[in-house]
Amino acid sequence: MTTTAHAHDHPPAANASSRVDARLLGIYIFIASEVMLFGSFFTAYFFARVIVAPETWPPEPFELPVYLALLNTIILMTSSFTMHWALQAIKRGSRAGLVAGLTLTFLLGLTFLLIQIREYTRIGFGPGDLAFGSSFFGLTGLHGAHVFVGLNLLAYALVRAVRGHYGPAAHDHLGVEIPGIYWHFVDVMWIVVYVTVYVL
């Protein structure tokens, strides 16, 4: 029997999987835990809205900047497309496309965060204003913190991209794919936050 045949008789190493890269599996498990974290915040929000809140939501005289939040939603959704473009570019071996895609994604994410900060400074209420204020700032602030983390990951990936650290081979662009998965998660969570808080 050949050496190759013998190699297939043994299971993969204990710290590796024959199907999913350990690093990809790690980010998927991390995102699952983040979904549970957001789930707890959504539970608190709906408890405040359904059980604690008065008849009107948001309670008078508070108002939410729905159209500004819609603009932010469009910005963040666009950033998902630029992130996808960056990953596809490096898979084709285009470093210029990768750098351009990561740069646009970072700038869009930064714009989103700056608009949210501006919204906080002019919204007219604070975290201590009733259950409404606490749940609003808790949920949107949690998401904003995730955007901040995502921007740091994008900045690190962008620096590495400029230095030529990535390539078209599957194991050579995980440093782009993993932040991309996280960024898509942040985008999807914002859509849920926007519909839940600003629309419903």
Instruction: Please say if the pLDDT value at position 111 is more than 60.
Output: yes
- Measured between alpha carbons, how far is 115 from 71 in angstroms, rounded to an integer? 9
Burial 4-15 (b: 16+ CB within 10 A, else e): eeeeeeeeeeee
pTM of the model: 0.84
The mean per-residue pLDDT over the stretch 109-126 comes to 90
Higher-scoring residue by pLDDT: 30, 15: 30
Instruction: Please say if the pLDDT value at position 128 is more than 80.
Output: no
pLDDT at residue number 31: 93
- Tell me phi and psi for residue 71, to 5 degrees: -60, -45
pLDDT above 90: percentage of residues in the chain: 44
pLDDT at residue number 1: 46
Choice among 5-19, 24-38, 60-74, 117-131 with the minimum mean pLDDT = 5-19
Detail the DSSP E strand segments found in 1-50.
none
- Measured between alpha carbons, how far is 74 from 89 in angstroms, rounded to an integer? 23
Instruction: Please say if the pLDDT value at position 44 is more than 90.
Output: no
Burial 158-168 (b: 16+ CB within 10 A, else e): beebeeeebee
Instruction: Please say if the pLDDT value at position 72 is more than 70.
Output: yes
Rg over alpha carbons for the chain, rounded to the nearest Å, is 21
User: How confident is the prediction for the chain on average, in pLDDT?
Assistant: 84
Domain ranges across the chain: 20-199
pLDDT at residue number 11: 59
What kind of fold does domain 20-199 have according to CATH?
Four Helix Bundle (Hemerythrin (Met), subunit A) (1.20.120)
The residue whose two tokens read 């190493």 is: 13
Higher-scoring residue by pLDDT: 188, 6: 188
DSSP 17: -
DSSP 169: S
Single-letter amino acid, residue 78: T
